Structure formats: structure tokens, C-alpha cells
Amino acid sequence: MRIHVQNPANDPHFAVTEAQWRDAVSRSPDMAGLQVSFASDEEGLTRALPEAEVLLSWVRPLRQRFPVGALPAAAPRLRIIACTSAGVDSAAPFDWLPESIALLNNSGTHADKAGEFGIMAILMLNTGMPAFADAQRRGEWKPIFASTLAGRRVVIVGMGSLGGGVARQARAFGMQVIGVRNGPEPHPDCDETHTTGALDSVLPRAEFLVLACPLTDQTRNLLSRERIALLPRGAGIVNIARGAVWDQDAVCDALEAGHLGGCVTDVAVPEPLPTESRLWRTPGMVVTPHVSADDRARYNDRTLDILFENIRALRESRPLPNRVDPAKGY
Amino acid sequence: MRIHVQNPANDPHFAVTEAQWRDAVSRSPDMAGLQVSFASDEEGLTRALPEAEVLLSWVRPLRQRFPVGALPAAAPRLRIIACTSAGVDSAAPFDWLPESIALLNNSGTHADKAGEFGIMAILMLNTGMPAFADAQRRGEWKPIFASTLAGRRVVIVGMGSLGGGVARQARAFGMQVIGVRNGPEPHPDCDETHTTGALDSVLPRAEFLVLACPLTDQTRNLLSRERIALLPRGAGIVNIARGAVWDQDAVCDALEAGHLGGCVTDVAVPEPLPTESRLWRTPGMVVTPHVSADDRARYNDRTLDILFENIRALRESRPLPNRVDPAKGY
């Protein structure tokens, strides 16, 4: 089986190396027969596509690279496109993707790192760090005393790899965890789970709200101005989903009005966030530059392990665990 | 037995209320016979002292209130002075304290809260939050990708209630925990423990350093300029001890020189820290206003539970678990 790894052209941090490939194969000896090629330029991709059965690629170039209808002729043997990111929203709509090709996300790579980022953000909100950061800018010593997290309530929207990672950590700190997801099935790290349709009834109970869902047509502007108003006064929000999942301006307004206690966001509209954006300067808003889920030391190792799991499933004619449903968008 | 609770005059947050007292007695029915008085003014204290056998008090006023030699006459029946803080450095030297009176600290009240603050601070340093805070002030989107904490090494100086709380959390995140303490005895949440005398050999191994020791003559300037130089380049420091335990200016210099990766300090010299202090403005320095160990919701409950444990020990002629050794200073 022929696999082509198309690395990003200008991002040495996350390029999959031949050494990482060899290590991954040594962890999965059943993958020893795979024939692999690597490239980070256009010519390398063009050269590999006619023979490739599996393409591992950065998600962003996919839609531009493959206009609607072009893929079958360009890559006649392709059966899997595996994306290195968990969110595949930048490749939507999926009209360019033939039904015969399975699109895989990289869900599972990010759980541990996202869980640590999520609990850090919740601890920061609980401790009052956004207010202390504002006070530090003014040189003002102004204690606010906080309790511990045990028994406090967090609502997590999106119970995939990211949300699940946060739920596991929140549980370890003794929090009461309420998960919100599309399906009604319970989650082992949630005390309660509710469907997205019940969101309005859950928000008034959220001391902390974590957004960790994929960006789809259904989740765009999910945390609207109206829904922000449903949160109790003083609530804290963590956004590790996408900037378009909340109404960014309404969040800033709610912080300025004192309705929200603080926010930690790792995502923004647009990214990179321009210097003049009000997000940087809104009191109570902590901004990080889309780093919450990417563990540089372990990212590629996990990416390859997940890819191999899916190839194994393909060989054994099982459903591919990371297959994206183009209709759902995740 | 007569107990007097002297509450701070100007701090309603931490005043012990009669309701909290009643709840504590209901948790410890063997304390039902205690006679208790409350005051927050000087007259109330003066009125109570002649009969009081136990005094529960804020630590700060003790030295000023009781000049050397004054206590036996002022409080002839006093057997215990219980402080509401874990650190009793502001009452040192203990020349005002007769040997017949046991001074108790409040060690144990702070473990859970300090543990959460400590792991938050370590997660922040690992994630690069001090650099992101600086970047946010400039409106600059500049990703730095970090790994998870598993397998990373933290050195904790001071393995009392605060340090023990941080060690427990660090362990839960899979960190390698090295404890430094006066005695050689191992600690259940440390992979290694070393005596303070071995500090110089341990510092070069510290990816993260947590200062959680009491301030005594031995620990003043413990993290000196010379010892800061022993830390590996890029190390992060958390100070939840006292500002005088490190060389505050040398820490700022090391941050400016890029030798240290970042700091989170909850303590400063002096407190409250004046607006003009360079600590507020040193890049990579996160300052919080002495809030790391005080859990407002549970503080007084735990304080009373600990006091009752010590009274129980006195009744049963056991050593008092929270007794301060004036020679050691903690």
C-alpha cells in the first residue's frame, strides 16, 4: 500500500519526519510493508498522487488543491485522505470529496494536551487570573479569594477528543461535569449529558462553560448574544473550539458589562488576530494563539498511530474510527 | 475550657463567625463544652485575656500586642495561641512567647487550595502563559507549542502543607516530583526527597521550581542570585512561600536576560506591592496578590477543625500536631 505524507510547506514544527515514521512502524510492525513518500512542495504532491492510496495532509490546502470533480482523475487509486487536524471545517463544504474516498480527522491526538489546557483555563478563571492580569497592567495589588474547584459545575459543549480530555481533568478535580453533544449517549466522564437541543436549559447552570465542539453549519454562532445572556452572572468561558462558535463581539460586550467573570480563548476571528482587535484589550479576556491542543513533542507520533489504526480497520473491513461524515461536518 | 477568637479588625472575609463555630462543634461533639468569646477590637481582646486558655488569632498583631515578658501577666491561664495562617514568620523572633504557651500554626488548611494554585501556575508556565500575556499587551499573535506535563520534572522546596498539596497535583499529572525539605524522610508524593543542604545539586535538574517553604532565618534569600544561575535555561519558578525567600531583583534580572522562562509569584516584597515596583512590569513575570492558599469558602471551617484536633491532643496529653518550634521558626 502506498502512502504519501504531504507536509506543510512553511511549518517545520509539525512536519512528519522519516525518523518519526520509522518509530511509528516499529510500534506497529503490521505496517512494515507500507511504501511511503514525503514532500512539502507542490511537485512532490503532484508526483505522488497517481499512485497514492493514502494521503496524510494538512487540512487547509485540500479544498483549493482539489476543485470539485478533480480528485478521481488526479488520484485514481486514493482511498483515504487523513487530515492532521481534529477540526476539518476549513475543508468544508465537502463537494470536492468523492464518496469512494474516506476523509479522516485526527481526533484523539489532542485529548491529553487539550485536557491540560482546559483545566488550566478553568483554574485560571476560578482563581481570578484575568482580573489579576488587568490589575498587573495597572500595578494594583487587589486580592480576590477563591475556593477550590471541587463541587463546582462545568458545562462542556462538544464531547469529542477535546471536550472529553477536559471532562476527564475536571472530574479529577471533583467538579460536576455536564456534557452537551449531538447524540443522547452518556459519557464516562460526565455526570450528565444533554443534546445540543437542550443547550438553553443547561446554560443557566454553568459556572464554567467550555466550548470544544467542531465548527459546522449547526455550531456557527452557537453561543449567540441571546445565549450568553442565559449564563449566570460571573460565569467564565473557555473557547478551544473555533472563534466562529461564539459571537465574539457579544462576549466582549458581556465582559465589559460585568455579566461574564472572565474568558480564556485559544481561538479568534480572524486568525492570526490583528493587533487592532478589541479582543486583545477587553478586560477579563485572556487570548492565546491557537496552541491549546497541539503537543509538539508527541503530535506526529500520535498522528501516525491513529493513521495506522485506521489503515488496520480498512484492511480488516471494519468502519474507520476517524472517518468524517461530510453531512455532519465532523 | 475558655477559648477566645480574636478576629481581624478590618477583614470581614476571614472573620470566624458564631455560626461557623457552631457548625464546627457539631462536627466535633467532644468540643461542646468549650466556652467561646469573639471580638475584633482591642477592648474585646483585653477583656478576654485574663480567663482565656486558648487564643485563636491572626498572626500579625501578636508581636506588637505582647511585648517581651508581658504575656504571663496579661494572660495567666493561656496555654495555646493558635494562628490562622500557615506561616508565622511575622511573629518572629519568638522572644515574646513563654515556653509554657504552645504556638500553633494553621498548617493543613491550605493544602488543597495551594495544590490547585501550584498546578495552575505550573501549567501556565508550561503553556507559555507569561509570554502570551506579554504578547497580548502588544496585540501580537505568536504561537509557542508546548508538550504536556507527563514526565517533566518539578523541584518543590518545602514539603509542608503547601508543598505537599502541589506535589500531590504534580504527581496526578504524571510529573517527576523532587522534594527538598529539612529532614531526610521521604514524602509519599515525591519520587525523591533531598535535604536543603543538597539544594545546589538539585537546582540544575529543575524544569520547574516551586518555593513553598516557611520564611525563617535559614530560608531568607534561599534562592539567591547564585542559585538562580544554577537553574537550567528556560526554567520556570512558582513562589507561594514568601517574597523574601528569593532574591526578587535577581529573579527579575534573570527573566530580562532570558535565563528564566517565566515566573508566577503570589508573594512579594513588600506586600502590598507598590505600583512602581519593577515586579509588575518584568516580562515573563505573573504577579498575584497573596491569594494562593486561602480558600474563602472553607478556610474557617478547616481552621476550627484543626484547632479542635490540637485541643483534643492537649486533653489526651499527646504532642500538639500544629505546634511551632520557635527555634526552627515553623
> Which pLDDT belongs to residue A122?
98
Say whether A120 and B123 touch across the interface (CB within 8 A). yes
- Which H or E element spans position A233? none
Examine residue A93 and say whether the peptide bond preceding it is cis (omega within 30 degrees of 0): yes
Q: Is the pLDDT of residue B167 over 90?
A: yes
> Which pLDDT belongs to residue B229?
98
The residue assigned the cell 512532490 is A44
pLDDT class of B14 with cuts at 50, 70, 90:
confident
> Measuring CA to CA, which residue among A260, A292, A265 is closest to residue A280?
A265
Closest CB to A287: pick one of B136, B146, B173: B136
The tens digit of pLDDT for each residue in B198-218 reads: 999 999 999 999 999 999 999
**CA B232 vs CA B198, B200, B205, B222, B258: distances in Å:** 17, 12, 7, 17, 11
**CA B190 vs CA A77, A200, A281, B108, B211: distances in Å:** 55, 45, 41, 18, 15
Closest residue of chain A to B129, computed from CA coordinates = A288
Chain A residues in contact with B142 by the CB 8 A cut-off are: 289
Mutate to test the interface with A, among B110, B136, B263 (most CBs of A within 10 A): B136
Separation of alpha carbons A261 and A256, rounded Å = 10
A263 SS3 class: strand
- Rg for chain B (alpha carbons), in Å? 21
Say whether B139 and A276 touch across the interface (CB within 8 A). yes
The residue assigned the cell 517527576 is B176
Closest CB to B298: pick one of A123, A147, A291: A147
Chain B residues in contact with A143 by the CB 8 A cut-off are: 289-291
> Measuring CA to CA, which residue among B116, B94, B76 is closest to residue B324?
B94
B5: closest CA of chain A, how far (Å) = 22
Say whether B144 and A117 touch across the interface (CB within 8 A). no
Closest residue of chain B to A288, computed from CA coordinates = B132
The tens digit of pLDDT for each residue in B55-80 reads: 999 888 888 889 999 999 999 999 99
Number of H helices, E strands in chain B: 11, 12
> Measuring CA to CA, which residue among A232, A118, A231, A212 is closest to residue A173?
A118
Dihedral pair phi/psi, residue A196, rounded to 5°: -55, -30
The tens digit of pLDDT for each residue in A99-125 reads: 999 999 998 888 999 999 999 999 999
Share of chain B above pLDDT 70, in %: 100
A198: closest CA of chain B, how far (Å) = 31
Mutate to test the interface with A, among B14, B148, B287 (most CBs of A within 10 A): B148
Say whether A271 and B141 touch across the interface (CB within 8 A). yes
Q: Retrieve residue B97's grid coordinates.
A: 512567647
Separation of alpha carbons A30 and A305, rounded Å = 12
Say whether B123 and A119 touch across the interface (CB within 8 A). yes
Name the maximum alpha-carbon separation found in chain B.
66
pLDDT class of B4 with cuts at 50, 70, 90:
very high
Chain A residues in contact with B135 by the CB 8 A cut-off are: 289
A309: closest CA of chain B, how far (Å) = 23
For residues B248-266, b (16+ Cβ closer than 10 Å) or e, as one string? bebbbbbbeeebbbbbbbb
Mutate to test the interface with B, among A124, A125, A136, A277 (most CBs of B within 10 A): A136
Separation of alpha carbons A230 and A213, rounded Å = 19
Average pLDDT, chain B: 95
Say whether A298 and B140 touch across the interface (CB within 8 A). no
Residues B292 and B114: beta-carbon distance below 8 Å? yes
Q: End-to-end alpha-carbon separation of chain B, Å?
A: 26
Q: Is the pLDDT of residue B11 over 80?
A: no
Rounded to the nearest 10 degrees, the angle between the axes of helix A129-138 and helix A111-127 is 60
Closest residue of chain B to A170, computed from CA coordinates = B116
Mutate to test the interface with B, among A137, A147, A168, A171 (most CBs of B within 10 A): A147
Closest CB to A120: pick one of B120, B271, B280: B120
The tens digit of pLDDT for each residue in B236-284 reads: 999 999 999 999 999 999 999 999 999 999 999 999 999 999 999 999 9
Closest CB to A124: pick one of B120, B297, B298: B120
> Which pLDDT belongs to residue A170?
98
Q: Retrieve residue A248's grid coordinates.
A: 465574539
Taking CA B314 as the corner, what is the angle to CA B321 and CA B77, rounded to the nearest 5 degrees?
Answer: 120
The tens digit of pLDDT for each residue in B286-318 reads: 999 999 998 878 889 999 999 999 999 999 999
**CA A51 vs CA A4, A37, A77, A98, B275: distances in Å:** 9, 11, 6, 17, 66
Residues B198 and B226: beta-carbon distance below 8 Å? no
> Which pLDDT belongs to residue A324?
95
A151: closest CA of chain B, how far (Å) = 12
Q: Is the pLDDT of residue B18 over 90?
A: yes
Chain B residues in contact with A142 by the CB 8 A cut-off are: 289
> Which pLDDT belongs to residue B49?
95
> Which pLDDT belongs to residue A90?
87
DSSP one-letter string for B243-292: GGGB-HHHHHHHHHTTSEEEEEES--SSSSPPTT-GGGGSTTEEE--S-T
Separation of alpha carbons B153 and B156, rounded Å = 10
Say whether A295 and B146 touch across the interface (CB within 8 A). yes
Separation of alpha carbons B304 and B192, rounded Å = 33
Flag residues of chain A having pLDDT under 50: none
A203: closest CA of chain B, how far (Å) = 24
Q: Retrieve residue A188's grid coordinates.
A: 464516562
Separation of alpha carbons A199 and A219, rounded Å = 12
Separation of alpha carbons A317 and A308, rounded Å = 14
**CA B283 vs CA A253, A282, B134, B256: distances in Å:** 29, 20, 7, 7
> Measuring CA to CA, which residue among B269, B271, B274 is closest to residue B250?
B269
Q: Is the pLDDT of residue B2 over 90?
A: yes
Residues in chain B: 330
B288: closest CA of chain A, how far (Å) = 6
Closest CB to A295: pick one of B147, B271, B290: B147
Residues A289 and B141: beta-carbon distance below 8 Å? yes
CB pairs under 8 A between A and B: 133
Chain A residues in contact with B124 by the CB 8 A cut-off are: 120, 124, 129
Average pLDDT, chain A: 95
Q: Is the pLDDT of residue B143 over 90?
A: yes
A293: closest CA of chain B, how far (Å) = 9
| Domains within chain B, CATH numbers bracketed | 2-105+297-315 (3.40.50.720), 111-287 (3.40.50.720)
Say whether A145 and B290 touch across the interface (CB within 8 A). no
> Which pLDDT belongs to residue B90?
87
Rounded to the nearest 10 degrees, the angle between the axes of helix A299-315 and helix A18-27 is 50
